[in-house]
């Protein structure tokens, strides 16, 4: 128990370190609280009690700071922000299982995996260079995980104290593992995510601890004896055998020339062993760094609660559905996403004319004169201009959606950034953010405009840029989900803007939302000139108006900084306020696009 307790205390220290550094711990703050409650029971005495008390003192200190921050962000009901954006109205759950609700859930999962597969194609390219530590580690992880899962202790060994290595990390030139093949690398990455997704069901493990468990597993693999085999090693004469031979030669008083030859050989072999130990340690450190990058990749792309990625938004209703509570009668030609019950029909999706037909019980999708069979086991991905049409079938239901093609993804991020730039603009007491809050509430029911007046935004200016952007982006995603199930949201936006006397802001926000949700790529008319930069080990600079931003790339993380301001992290999207307007930076892999929305664009909206 002492060994397991030591790892739990160490895990608690890591999580508190993450909170202290301003990073979200794996599994979220809730996992820290649960782990703390467990350690209060287990670590109240013994050799690990002091370490736990020291870490816990730091955690309680952070909690006090958080309570102080909560007072800054808190707002009195009914204008509490979380109730406007995050809390959805309670849904009535039917007594029995609904086939169409099951279809919606299954299609949501299918969209997630198809999107993940596309995202992993971008992630594979940098992993194919160098010594491919990440791919080699994934291979060893999957092999050892599969072997260990067949042992009786697997389900109870949460801390991996009884784990033994069954498969070493393959060498870069291993002929049995073709890691230089992009398709093999992509399949390996995808298999890692599938194993991570299934892990909580196979193991007695809370879903939010999935990534932490895999990080420990990778660490145990790397630290296991025999896991690393440097190239050039084989059957070599050991230092110990040469030392015994030298002692025997001296005892037998062999000629001095033979003794000196043995001494020289012993020195050479000892030097080679020291070199190999250094190489092993360097390799071990590189694989540890690779494991951290893989853990970050898993956490970024696994859906909550396993990671931080949200599940895709799909319409809450089904076109021509049989359930009256879920039935949708028609779609707008501008809609870019629809879920429907399979029937022979013709429909327009985002301006594309799609024909669904049935022949001998087999459904076909026709687009631009080409027929495609609808196979439940094989989702369709069809190029259509600057977009891809995704067609995902589940039994007798079909989900269609337009997605930006690779390379157009960064344009979609810029369109989202344009909306965020409006929301984060502080003029007129954050007029756009107040308007979005009121609009989000109006989508649920009638509102009182007085709850969204200037006084409701008096705390926004005290928030950090990161906290305010995260809050606005989360609210924007909630609004996007709500307007996807309705077609008259523009009228509601006009109504709310009139009530708040923000008609000009209402027109601008409605246009920005339409461009973003309608998957229309931004143009120079809507975004202005777009600049581009390529990330490398050397810092890059971009200019937004009179401000020069420095971009520093470190281990798949980008930090943006300028003089006299705290650096901020660029994950995929960042809004930066400058005197001339609002700057937007969007990142896709090693490419960064940036633009400046001038003040005149907001004033003339």
CB atoms under 10 Å from CB of 478, counted, come to 19
pLDDT computed for residue 97 by the predictor: 59
pLDDT computed for residue 44 by the predictor: 55
- Classify residue 375 by its DSSP letter: B
pTM across the whole model: 0.63
pLDDT computed for residue 485 by the predictor: 61
Strand partners, 382: 389
- Per the CB < 8 A criterion, the answer to whether 35 and 77 are in contact is no
Token reading at 218: 């990778």
CA distances (Å), origin 300, targets 26, 120, 307: 10, 12, 6
pLDDT computed for residue 82 by the predictor: 43
571 and 516 assigned to the same domain: yes
513 and 396 assigned to the same domain: no
CA distance 512 to 332: 18
Token reading at 346: 């013709």
253's enclosing H/E stretch is: none
417 and 549 assigned to the same domain: yes
Q: What are phi and psi of 508, to 5 degrees?
A: -65, -45
489 and 589 assigned to the same domain: yes
Task: Please report whether residue 599 resides in a domain.
Answer: yes
Picking from 347, 352, 372, the residue whose alpha carbon sits closest to that of residue 362 is 372
pLDDT computed for residue 135 by the predictor: 95
One-character DSSP codes across 308-363: SBPPPP--SSEET-SSTTTEE----TT--EEEEE--SEEEEETTEEEEEEEETTEE
E-strand ranges in 74-227 read: none
Q: Which segments in the chain show pLDDT lower than 50?
A: 1, 3, 65, 68-84, 86-95, 231-235, 522-527
64 burial via Cβ count (<10 Å: 0-12, 13-18, 19+): exposed
pLDDT computed for residue 92 by the predictor: 45
Task: Look at the chain and report how many structural domains it folds into.
Answer: 4
Task: Please report whether residue 596 resides in a domain.
Answer: yes
24's enclosing H/E stretch is: none
pLDDT computed for residue 87 by the predictor: 44
132 and 253 assigned to the same domain: yes
332 and 281 assigned to the same domain: no
Token reading at 598: 């001038």
Can you give the residue range of the structural domain that contains 561?
Answer: 409-603
228 and 335 assigned to the same domain: no
388 and 284 assigned to the same domain: no
CA distance 508 to 514: 10
Place of tokens 């281990």: 555
CA distance 83 to 475: 10
CA distance 217 to 221: 6
CA distance 437 to 471: 11
CA distance 346 to 352: 11
429 and 565 assigned to the same domain: yes
12 and 128 assigned to the same domain: no
596 and 510 assigned to the same domain: yes
CA distance 184 to 531: 35
Task: Please report whether residue 98 resides in a domain.
Answer: no
Task: Please report whether residue 104 resides in a domain.
Answer: no
Task: Please report whether residue 128 resides in a domain.
Answer: yes
Task: Please report whether residue 324 resides in a domain.
Answer: yes
398 and 340 assigned to the same domain: yes
Task: Please report whether residue 300 resides in a domain.
Answer: yes
Tell me the chain's radius of gyration from C-alpha atoms.
29
């Amino acid at each position: 128990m002492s060994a397991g307790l030591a790892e739990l205390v160490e895990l608690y220290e890591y999580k508190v370190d993450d909170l202290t550094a301003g990073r979200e711990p794996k599994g979220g703050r809730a996992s820290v609280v649960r782990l703390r409650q467990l350690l209060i029971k287990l670590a109240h005495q013994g050799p690990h009690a002091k370490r736990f008390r020291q870490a816990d003192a730091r955690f309680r200190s952070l909690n006090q700071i958080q309570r102080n921050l909560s007072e800054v962000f808190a707002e009195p009901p009914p204008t509490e922000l979380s109730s406007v954006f995050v809390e959805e109205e309670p849904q009535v759950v039917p007594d029995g299982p609904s086939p169409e609700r099951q279809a919606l859930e299954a299609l949501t999962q299918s969209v997630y995996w198809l999107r993940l597969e596309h995202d992993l194609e971008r992630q594979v390219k940098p992993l194919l260079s160098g010594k491919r530590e990440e791919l080699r580690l994934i291979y060893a992880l999957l092999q050892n995980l599969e072997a260990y899962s067949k042992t009786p202790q697997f389900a109870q060994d949460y801390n991996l104290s009884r784990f033994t290595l069954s498969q070493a990390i393959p060498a870069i030139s291993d002929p049995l593992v073709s890691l230089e093949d992009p398709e093999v690398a992509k399949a390996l990455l995808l298999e890692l995510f599938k194993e991570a997704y299934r892990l909580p069901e196979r193991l007695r493990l809370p879903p939010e601890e999935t990534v932490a468990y895999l990080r420990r597993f990778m660490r145990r693999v790397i630290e296991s004896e025999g896991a690393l085999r440097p190239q050039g090693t084989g059957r070599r004469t050991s230092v110990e055998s040469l030392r015994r031979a030298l002692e025997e030669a001296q005892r037998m008083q062999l000629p001095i020339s033979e003794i000196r030859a043995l001494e020289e050989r012993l020195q050479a072999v000892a030097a080679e062993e020291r070199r190999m130990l250094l190489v092993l340690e360097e390799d071990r450190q590189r694989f540890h760094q690779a494991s951290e990058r893989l853990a970050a990749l898993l956490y970024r792309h696994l859906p909550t609660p396993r990671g931080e990625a949200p599940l895709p938004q799909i319409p809450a209703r089904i076109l021509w559905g049989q359930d009256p509570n879920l039935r949708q009668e028609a779609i707008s030609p501008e809609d870019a996403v629809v879920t429907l019950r399979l029937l022979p029909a013709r429909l327009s999706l985002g301006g594309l004319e799609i024909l669904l037909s049935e022949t001998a019980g087999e459904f076909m999708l026709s687009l631009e004169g080409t027929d495609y069979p609808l196979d439940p086991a094989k989702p369709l991905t069809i190029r259509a201009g600057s977009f891809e049409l995704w067609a995902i079938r589940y039994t007798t239901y079909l989900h269609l959606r337009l997605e930006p093609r690779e390379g157009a993804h960064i344009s979609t991020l810029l369109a989202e950034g344009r909306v965020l730039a409006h929301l984060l603009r502080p003029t007129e007491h954050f007029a756009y953010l107040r308007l979005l809050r009121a609009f989000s509430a109006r989508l649920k029911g009638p509102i009182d405009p007085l709850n969204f007046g200037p006084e409701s935004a008096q705390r926004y200016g005290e928030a950090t840029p990161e906290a305010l952007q995260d809050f606005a982006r989360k609210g924007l995603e909630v609004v996007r989900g709500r307007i996807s199930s309705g077609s008259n949201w523009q009228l509601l936006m006009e109504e709310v803007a009139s009530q708040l006397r923000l008609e000009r802001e209402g027109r601008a926000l409605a246009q920005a939302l339409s461009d973003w949700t309608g998957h229309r790529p931004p143009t120079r008319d809507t975004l202005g000139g777009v600049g581009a930069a390529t990330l490398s080990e050397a810092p890059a600079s971009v200019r937004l108006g009179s401000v020069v931003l420095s971009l520093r790339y470190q281990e798949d993380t980008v930090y943006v900084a300028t003089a006299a301001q705290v650096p901020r992290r660029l994950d995929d999207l960042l809004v930066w306020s400058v005197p001339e307007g609002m700057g937007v930076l969007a990142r896709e892999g090693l490419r960064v696009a940036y633009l400046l929305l001038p003040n005149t664009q907001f004033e003339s909206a």
